[in-house]
Amino acid sequence: MRWIYNITLDSGKSATVPSKERIYDCLRCFRNKFGEEAVLGVTERFGDSEPVPSYLQPLSKEEADSLKTEATQ
């Protein structure tokens, strides 16, 4: 399965980017790639899961790992 990033662009278009690895801080990553003003938002999903907006996603691997640890306690 892959991580899927759906990017909403200011032009009204959207782009889909699949990735084998999770992209942390994906909003900043895609704003750097497409232009700061061009990207309005990003959603992330893994495989067939529900999309999650970028503001709810962890910004680093360490943050993601700590969230997993908190969930198991």
Q: Which domain holds residue 64?
A: 3-72
Q: Is the pLDDT of residue 70 over 90?
A: no
Alpha-carbon torsion 22, 28, 33, 34, what sign? positive
Q: Quick check: helix, strand or coil at residue 54? A: helix
Q: Is the pLDDT of residue 73 over 90?
A: no
Residue 71 has what pLDDT? 66
What's the number of domains the chain is made of?
Answer: 1
72/20 Cα distance (integer angstroms): 25
8-55 pLDDT tens trace: 999 999 999 999 999 999 999 999 999 999 999 999 999 999 999 999
* Neighbouring residues of 41: CB distance < 8 A, sequence distance ≥ 6: 7, 8, 27, 53, 54
pLDDT (0 to 100) of residue 1: 86
